[in-house]
Amino acid sequence: MNSLVILALLLFTGAAAFAQQTAAQFSPTEVWQHRTGIIRLIHVKSPPRLMLNDTVTLDVVVGPDGHVEAARAIAGPQEFYSDAEAIEHDRVFKPFQANGNPVRASIEDYVTIAPPEEWSAERVPFPTVRNWKSLRMTLSRSSCFGSCPDYSVEVRGDGSVLYHGKAFVLITGDHQSAISRRAVLNLLKSFRSLDYFSLKNAYQASVTDIPTVTTSIQIDGQVKTVTDHDGYAVGMPDAVLGMELTFDEVSGTAKWTKETEETWPALLAEHWNFRAKTDANRQLFASVVQRGSPELIQRFLSAGAPALGMTKDGQSALESAAAKGDLRLVRELLDSGDNNAIAPSVLFQSLRAAAQSGNLQLVRLLLDRGADVNGSPADARDLRTVLMSAVESGKVSIVKEILLHHPNANATSYNGETVLMTFLERSPENSDTEEILNALIAADADVQATDEQGKNAVFAACHKPKAIAILVRAGADPNAKDLGGQTALMSCIGREAIVALLAAGANPFLQNRYGETAAEEARKAGLNDKADLLDAFTKQHSSE
């Protein structure tokens, strides 16, 4: 390699390194939100040694103008590194911003490896629009096992936009806006350039826990609908995903699905009746309290929004405000509505949310307004108690306040998890461990109670080793076995937990149902540090 080539490589490497050092970091969610246009994939007929949907991960620097300045593959099948880097260099993002100004962005992006693109058996020419009143272009996104936005939007030939928000969106219900003639033509162009009528009717992979995207177009009575359920894994053309993103951008769904500068003006423009005592308006306000900014919530309240709203999934505006630990907003909601009209279950659920938020003043406010520590939620299948939420906050002041009202310290959740287990497994690392445990034990929490797997609280203390000695002193058996024949010493992994268990009397010579000690089981699982620690302990005590 001659000196000029070496110099060029050094300059390129140095420039890329400098760009990354001066670039702002952005999360994967933000990266996805900034994607535009067609999302190209690597299409291969028979991926060697690959699973479908394998990806090449890249370190990427995006300039303030949204164009990729540098892309370096860092993970994935190496035979596709160069293809992935070439595709990434062609990608264009909506400019990333910091403090309202475009910035250079350092991101991690990926290029998916997928099977060849597939089309319908017969090409269908894209029709010409004769009657613009007949034009309907629609997109819907379904929910998933998580919190995927669930909504639909329709764009008509005259520029009317009809939106319906179902769940996991900021704005629920039916709303409308309008886009320009040029925007309608651009959206129609995205369908036409895709040769939409020649696509297959469905691209559906055999996967779960992802949303389904359905698009459709109707022109003079001719209708075409395409279903995308992880479609790129089964040959969906790249341009379909790009068209879906374009649809959202052109129709302006972001102002409804999440809060933007256009959200409030759009509601005003459609003359939304914020004071309406309808289920739709109550659900809308409850959703805004759950997902909106304090400024947006105040705008709704100033416009007369009903304070006692509830989302479709049963979460009231009051509960959402309590979950945020927002004392001022909770007080305002309580004072703006008819306090006698608030259902006891709503007050109970709000108190539970407040306890988990860790705001002691808020907990006391709700107690003063009639919330019952020993009440019940609206859903009888919901077994979570206020005390469980209190211990999950990790604050002894909250726990002691709730204990003053004599809750059941031995209540269990759906899988038999006790209050003690909830605290040990779900509270923050910086919790008031000793004080909370002592308070629960003083309230007669049973340290020997077991969950559905037969595990007592000592098993859960793997997550908080300082709790082990306290539990054992209170009567918990450090050598108890679960239904699978495991002891806590066999289940715990961390060194601190192992040492605490041994100091509390855990027996390293006990065997599981396969005749293995904790050390032998750990060695078999490749946990050599744990096995060495146990072997050293047993060797020392065998010689004593």
pLDDT in the model for residue 89: 95
* Residue 440 burial (CB count, 10 A): 24
pLDDT in the model for residue 338: 55
The CA-based angle 315-319-320, given to 5 degrees, is: 80
* Residue 99 burial (CB count, 10 A): 5
Structure tokens at 347: 């007050």
The DSSP secondary structure of 84-134, one letter per residue, reads HHHHHHH-BBPPPEETTEE--EEEEEEEEEEPPP---SS--PPPPPS-GGG
Q: d(Cα 75, Cα 56) in Å, to the nearest integer?
A: 6
Query: What are the b/e assignments for 260-292, b being 16+ CB within 10 Å?
Result: eeebbebbeeeebebeeeeeebbbbbbbbbbbb
Q: For the chain, 544 residues long, give each residue's pLDDT as a single digit of tens.
A: 444 434 444 444 444 444 445 788 998 888 988 888 778 899 888 655 545 558 999 999 999 999 999 999 999 999 999 999 999 999 999 999 988 899 999 999 999 898 899 999 999 999 999 999 999 999 999 998 878 999 999 999 999 999 999 999 999 999 999 999 999 999 999 999 999 999 999 999 888 888 999 999 999 999 999 999 999 888 999 999 889 999 999 999 999 999 999 999 999 999 999 999 898 999 999 999 999 999 999 999 999 998 887 887 778 899 999 999 999 999 999 988 655 578 899 999 999 999 999 999 999 999 999 999 999 998 888 999 999 999 999 999 999 999 999 999 999 998 899 999 999 999 998 899 999 999 999 999 999 999 999 999 999 999 899 999 999 999 999 999 999 999 999 999 999 999 999 999 999 999 999 999 999 999 999 999 999 999 999 888 765 5
Tell me the whole-structure pTM to 2 decimals. 0.77
Pick the CATH number of 447-544 from 1.25.40.20, 2.60.290.11, 3.40.50.720, 3.40.960.10: 1.25.40.20
pLDDT in the model for residue 206: 86
Note whether 273-382 and 447-544 share their fold. Answer: yes
CATH class of 273-382: mainly alpha
Domain segments of the chain as ranges: 3-114, 132-259, 273-382, 447-544
Q: d(Cα 404, Cα 409) in Å, to the nearest integer?
A: 12
The structure tokens 């670039």 sit at 23
pLDDT in the model for residue 337: 64
**Residue 118 near residue 236, CB atoms below 8 Å:** yes
| Identity of residue 425 | E
pLDDT in the model for residue 207: 84
pLDDT in the model for residue 468: 96
**Residue 250 near residue 187, CB atoms below 8 Å:** yes
Q: Are strands 202-204 and 213-219 parallel, antiparallel or unpaired?
A: unpaired
pLDDT in the model for residue 147: 83
Domain 132-259, second-level architecture? 2-Layer Sandwich (3.30)
Q: d(Cα 140, Cα 439) in Å, to the nearest integer?
A: 51
The structure tokens 């099977």 sit at 115
Burial class of residue 332 (count of CB atoms within 10 Å of its CB; 0-12, 13-18, 19+): middle
pLDDT in the model for residue 13: 46
Strand runs labelled E in 158-201: 160-167, 173-178
Q: d(Cα 384, Cα 414) in Å, to the nearest integer?
A: 8
- Three-class SS state of 69: strand
Q: d(Cα 281, Cα 34) in Å, to the nearest integer?
A: 31
pLDDT in the model for residue 11: 41
**Residue 499 near residue 536, CB atoms below 8 Å:** no
Return contacts of 129-136, CB within 8 angstroms, 24+ apart. 129/157, 129/188, 129/219, 129/220, 130/220, 131/157, 131/220, 132/157, 132/158, 133/157, 133/158, 134/218, 134/219, 134/220, 134/221, 135/184, 135/188, 135/217, 135/218, 135/219, 136/216, 136/217, 136/218
| Identity of residue 245 | L
